Chains A and B, each alone.
Chain A
Amino acid sequence: MGGMLVKYGVGLLAAMALLVPGNYTLSHPYTLSYPAYYGNRINTTDDNPLTVEGVALGRRLFYEPRLSVSNTISCGSCHQQSRAFTDSLRFSVGFDGTPTRRNAMTLTNLLWVRNFFWDGRAPSLEAQASTPLTDPHEMGQPLERSAVKLKADGGYPGLFAAAFGSDAITGERIVKAIAQFERTLISADAPYDRYLRMEYRFTATEQRGYDLFFGAPGRQIRSAGCGNCHGGPRIVTETYHNNGLDHVPADSGRESVTGMAYDRGRFRVVTLRNIALTAPYMHDGRFADLGQVLDHYSEHILYSPTLSPTLRDTASRPVLLHLTGEEKADLIAFLNTLTDSSFITDPHFADPKINVR
């Protein structure tokens, strides 16, 4: 009861702050809820506070094919909810059939991401969204043109007014609404979460997989050191590493952002939450399944000058784990506990035209 009151009071204050001068529409603040173990280092901006109306609009826009020049592709084409917002393809295809340069990424727990894309080149979801929208091969339409098309639809001006206080439809507002929706894509109800909340006991094989995953290699206990990079409850540390895929990387990765040679072939460590749903794997989708991923870390890590220090010994040789068949099965059993079936069936994240809720 006390909690309710507090929440109500905060909500009221926030709602007053959202009153846009000169307009009399009030939008309602959207309360993000997530477990305390995820921490509060979230990536939000003061000039785009989340509102119920903004999130609802963003969801509509996420599934709006008219944002593409051909009226056929939406964000949801390459980011499908049933696959934790990926598309099962090695490279996605935009409106003109050209394959994308990299593998489509999961949209799981973006609220905590600070640098978007495989190379971390976009600092915010607002900055990220305009890339697929305007990319000549993905959706291929200038934001101004999208705004004109949406204005022609009788439904949209009212939705923009509810979200932003006036019915003006602009590229900036399109991008802001989509970013608001994306921030709500929180996955925190996997068996692993129930384990963290002490409501679920691992099976023997899941437990062995967990021990391997989070242990550090070279210690007494046999371990795979995955948690050094994919660590913490969100199963990610936001760092850039070269995990030994190539002697000579075809994609320079982080180097294309910083211009530093030591960043060649470094990519952002990504979350492994919902990983069983997001095959194929790596920035270029080279591995078809988790078995191939484990074969890589077990036997095929390749040396290059920028190979992560975590994956090499003091003589700079790649550290190969030589996992047994049973160890690989254990790791996969643990990775499967990261699959959140309520995330991929939550009606709030679905296409509103199909699922009205």
Chain B
Amino acid sequence: MKLIVFVFSFCLLAQAASSQQIKVTGEVTKPLTLSAADLAAMPRSTAIAKDKQGVAHTFSGVALADIFAQAGVTTGRQLRGENLAKYVLITCADNYQIVFSLAELDSSFTDRVVILADQMEGKPLPQGVGPFRIVVPGEKKPARNCFQVTSIAIKFAKE
């Protein structure tokens, strides 16, 4: 009986999460539309960030760097010359937007691993925050730890 209930609620969860997808577009060789299942199947990373009350939580998800590898973004040895003028525009469901420079997210420049999280303390993200959010470990202000991410666009600064 317990098992049936478990399977049933898992299906419901999976269904709710699966309706949301994240688009990865722009300066990529392979545009992606990632579902919850796609992210679950990718290499997983963790990151720690504090909430409004200053309490630290462990988040898990996929490093932006791993998403870039799959989409064919200029990372690592390719991240030089004009590619250093690329930035990442993250858009959330409420139309909130933030940017990173590509170099800020690259393991050849920094050890900090920014992730697209789908779990907090091993559970799906809470209502109003999930299914997917950004977690930037060690950032003083939480303003780039944005909620309900809907798209990741890699762009060239054009000026």
A residues in contact (CB < 8 Å) with B: 115, 120, 218, 237-241, 258, 260-263, 266, 305-309, 312, 314, 316
Contact = CB atoms under 8 A, between A and B. Distances in A.
A316 B52 CA distance: 13
Contacts of A241: 94
Given A260-B20, A312-B128, A239 B147 contact: no
A309 B95 contact: no
Given A314-B51, A314-B53, A263 B93 contact: yes
Interface of B: 19-20, 51-53, 93-96, 126-129, 147-148
Given A218-B52, A314-B53, A309 B93 contact: no
Contacts of B52: 218, 314
Binding site secondary structure of chain B: loop
B140 to A, nearest CB: 15
Contacts of A237: 96
B128 A307 contact: yes
A209 to B, nearest CB: 25
A262 B130 CA distance: 9
A238 B96 CA distance: 8
B146 to A, nearest CB: 11
Contacts of A307: 128
A238 B97 CA distance: 10
Contacts of A238: 95
Given A258-B93, A262-B148, A316 B127 contact: yes
Given A239-B94, A314-B53, 7 more contacts: A115-B95, A239-B95, A305-B127, A306-B128, A308-B94, A314-B52, A316-B127
B93 A260 contact: yes
B21 to A, nearest CB: 10
B51 A309 contact: no
Contacts of A314: 51-53
A316 B127 CA distance: 9
Nearest to A241: B94
Nearest to A114: B95
Given A309-B147, A314-B51, A262 B128 contact: yes
B113 to A, nearest CB: 24
A42 to B, nearest CB: 16
A57 B126 CA distance: 52
Nearest to B20: A260
A162 to B, nearest CB: 33
Central interface residue in B51, B96, B129, B147, by most chain A CB within 10 Å: B96
A29 B6 CA distance: 66
A293 B52 CA distance: 26
19 contacts: A120-B95, A218-B52, A237-B96, A239-B95, A239-B96, A240-B95, A260-B20, A260-B93, A261-B19, A262-B148, A305-B128, A306-B128, A308-B94, A308-B128, A309-B128, A309-B129, A309-B147, A314-B51, A314-B52
B127 A266 contact: no
A113 B91 CA distance: 16
A333 B47 CA distance: 45
Contacts of A316: 126-128
B96 to A, nearest CB: 5
Contacts of A261: 19
A262 B126 CA distance: 12
Nearest to B130: A262
B19 A260 contact: yes
A312 B52 CA distance: 11
The 10 residue pairs across chains A and B that have the minimum distance between CB atoms: A239-B94, A309-B128, A239-B95, A240-B94, A239-B96, A240-B95, A305-B127, A238-B95, A262-B93, A241-B94
A263 B20 CA distance: 12
Nearest to A120: B95
A81 B148 CA distance: 38
Nearest to A218: B52
A218 B126 CA distance: 21
Contacts of B128: 262, 305-309, 312, 316
Contacts of B94: 239-241, 266, 308
A258 B94 CA distance: 11
B151 to A, nearest CB: 12
A218 to B, nearest CB: 7
A238 B126 CA distance: 24
B155 to A, nearest CB: 14
B17 to A, nearest CB: 11
Contacts of B147: 309
Contacts of B129: 309
Contacts of A120: 95
Contacts of B51: 314
A237 B95 CA distance: 9
A239 B148 CA distance: 13
